[in-house]
């Protein structure tokens, strides 16, 4: 293995895996910490954790463990992957984990660049844009767990770290100015060529951290890119879509699906919701793909959070989704489309999936991935909140039909 990556949620890891697999390098994705006795590794190993919204000390411990696992198996480069919208709170976890990984690798600086030009995420003068809006004016300001209310990434990162944060602006990069000497450096990038330049110009003594797109030039830099045909397993079963994301795009995707196909909404305030959803699902035609969703408007999410508390409201939805997925699996479903990072983590854990092969991309940042390839294959599409177009759920099912 040459490249070892740690991702703070499951959809982000699957996004990274899909983009790195474009290079033709062999990519292995683990959900949760892999066992210590696992020695066989691919060119690129990705460890998906569920630590975006956990307390910083727990996130640091898990990421250190993952970093040690990767370094012990030969990783020459470590990459710390978080959300392209820099989802975090004042207390972490992006900065604290970067500092811990620097300790492990002995690197003296860390570069941060969440830009993902193909998906409209750009950083300019240290400010993160989502499409043509500043992060703080985009729908991310209403995220149920990590509302992002400041687009200035230097300001967002500063309270999370113990030393100074600097900016490597696009103008400075284009002028050939070297990376600033501060321990932590936010880097601008608007186009993919900016990310290629960053990877080419950043010295090895710097820990690379960012969204998935900054990692894309790494396989070529590390000599891993190749033309490898990908044998994907056939997964013959009905499909189920589960959505716990409340992002603006997911809300559009749910609305688009509901115009034509069956859907059932679960409610965090109703403890019977998961059971009712399952009863409804069992009454649909066996080969009919259904959507079960918690997705709701910011106003209704806030009302549930006021009643139950933010953590408890989210936890109830994740527990319900995990139960629905496990019961659907027991009934023979082997194709799952999941919307939402936390939701994907909960479902993947409930299904006991530890390791997957990366398959074809549905849209930038969302590949199908396959578990248990040889015995009882299972296909999963794990979608981060804002990814995909309005017809994403249908697009995902169509990609599998075409295999």
Query: SS3 sequence, the chain?
Result: CCEEEEECCHHHHHHHHHHHHCCCCCEEEEECCCCCCCCCCCCEEEEECCCCCCCHHHHHHHHHHHHHHHHHCCCCEEEEECCCCCCCECCECHHHHHHHHHHHHCCCEEEEECCEHHHCEEEECCEEEECCEEHHHCHHHHCCCCCCCCCEHHHHHHHHCCCCEEEECHHHHHCCCCCCCCCEEEECECCHHHHHHHHHHCCCCEEEEECCHHHCCHHHHCCCCCCCCCCCCCCCCCEEEEECCCCHHHHHHHHHHHCCCCEEECCCCCCCHHHHHHHHHHCCCCCCCEEEECCCCHHHHHHHHHHHCHHHHHHHHHHHHHHHHHHHHHCCCCEEEEECHHHHHHHHHHCCCCEEEEEEEEECCEEEEEECCCCCCEEEEEECCCCCCCCHHHHHHHHHHCC
Closest distance of CB 19 from ligand ADP, Å: 17
Instruction: Give the nearer residue to ligand ADP in terms of CB position, either 208 or 339.
Output: 339
Residue facing ligand ADP at closest CB distance? 385
Instruction: Give the nearer residue to ligand ADP in terms of CB position, either 77 or 384.
Output: 384
Closest distance of CB 298 from ligand ADP, Å: 10
Instruction: Give the nearer residue to ligand ADP in terms of CB position, either 38 or 315.
Output: 315
Closest distance of CB 204 from ligand ADP, Å: 33
Instruction: Give the nearer residue to ligand ADP in terms of CB position, either 212 or 247.
Output: 247
Closest distance of CB 21 from ligand ADP, Å: 21
Instruction: Give the nearer residue to ligand ADP in terms of CB position, either 133 or 182.
Output: 133
Closest distance of CB 45 from ligand ADP, Å: 23
Closest distance of CB 291 from ligand ADP, Å: 14
Closest distance of CB 362 from ligand ADP, Å: 15
Instruction: Give the nearer residue to ligand ADP in terms of CB position, either 95 or 340.
Output: 340
Q: Which residues contact ligand ADP by CB under 6 A?
A: 143-145, 244-247, 250, 268, 294, 296, 301, 304-305, 313-314, 317-318, 340-343, 384-385
Instruction: Give the nearer residue to ligand ADP in terms of CB position, either 15 or 188.
Output: 15
């Amino acid at each position: 293995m040459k490249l070892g990556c740690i991702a703070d949620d499951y959809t982000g890891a699957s996004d990274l895996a899909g983009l790195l697999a474009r290079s033709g390098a062999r990519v292995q994705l683990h959900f949760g910490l892999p066992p210590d006795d696992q020695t066989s590794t691919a060119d690129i190993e990705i460890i998906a954790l569920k630590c975006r919204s956990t307390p910083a000390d727990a996130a640091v411990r898990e990421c250190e463990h993952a970093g040690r696992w990767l370094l012990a198996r030969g990783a020459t480069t470590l990459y710390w992957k978080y959300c392209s919208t820099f989802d975090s709170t004042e207390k972490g976890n992006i900065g604290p984990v970067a500092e811990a990984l620097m300790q492990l690798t002995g690197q003296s600086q860390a570069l941060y660049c969440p830009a993902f030009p193909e998906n409209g995420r750009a950083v300019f003068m240290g400010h993160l844009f989502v499409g043509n809006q500043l992060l703080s004016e985009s729908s991310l300001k209403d995220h149920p767990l990590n509302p992002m209310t400041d687009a200035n990434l230097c300001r967002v990162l500063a309270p999370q770290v113990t030393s100074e944060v600097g900016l490597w602006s696009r103008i400075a990069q284009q002028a050939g100015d070297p990376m600033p000497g501060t321990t932590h450096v936010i880097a601008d990038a608007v186009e993919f060529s900016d990310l290629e330049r960053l990877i080419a110009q950043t010295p090895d003594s710097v820990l690379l951290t960012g969204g998935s797109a900054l990692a894309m030039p790494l396989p070529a830099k590390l000599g891993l890119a190749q033309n490898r045909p990908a044998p994907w397993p056939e997964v013959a079963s009905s499909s189920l879509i589960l959505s716990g994301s409340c992002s603006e795009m997911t809300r559009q995707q749910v609305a688009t699906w509901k115009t034509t196909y069956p859907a059932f909404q679960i409610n965090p305030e109703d403890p019977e919701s998961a059971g009712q959803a399952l009863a409804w699902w069992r009454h649909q035609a066996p080969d009919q793909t259904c959507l079960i969703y918690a997705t709701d408007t910011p106003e209704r999410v806030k009302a549930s959070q006021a009643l139950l508390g933010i953590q408890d409201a989210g936890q109830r939805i994740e527990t319900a989704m995990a139960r629905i997925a496990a019961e659907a699996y027991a009934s023979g479903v082997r194709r799952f489309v999941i919307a939402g990072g936390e939701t994907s983590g909960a479902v993947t854990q409930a299904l006991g999936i530890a390791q997957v092969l990366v398959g074809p991309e549905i849209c930038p940042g969302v590949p199908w991935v396959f578990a248990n390839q040889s015995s009882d294959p299972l296909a999963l599409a794990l979608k981060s909140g804002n990814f995909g177009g309005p017809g994403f759920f249908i697009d995902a099912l169509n990609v599998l039909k075409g295999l």
